Amino acid sequence: FEPLPTLLEDEENVSLADILSLRDSCLTELDIWATCLECSHSMKSIAHSAIFQTLCITPDTLAFNTNG
C-alpha cells in the first residue's frame, strides 16, 4: 500500500476519481461504507438548500478535503 501524495497548501479537495486513479486496487468494503455514511451526512446537512435539487454525485464531483 502506497499513501496518496500530499496535497499542496492551496489544494484543499481531492475527488474520488483522483483517489481511484492513484490506487492500484479498488476500495475496500469499509472504505465504501465510510464514503456512503459521509455522503449521507453531507446530503442531510444541505437537504433544505436549493442546491440539493440539482445535486449530482459522481466520482468526479465527490470531493474530500484535507480534514477527511
pLDDT given for residue 56 in this prediction? 78
- Mean pLDDT calculated for residue range 23-39: 88
Set of cell numbers at residue 4: 496518496
- Residue 30 binned pLDDT confidence (cut-offs 50, 70, 90): very high
User: What is the reported pLDDT for 1?
Assistant: 46
- Other Cβ atoms closer than 10 A to 23: 13
- Stronger pLDDT, 37 or 55, i.e. the higher one: 37
Calculate the average pLDDT of the chain: 77
What is the dihedral angle through the alpha carbons of 64, 66, 67, 68, rounded to the nearest 10 degrees?
40
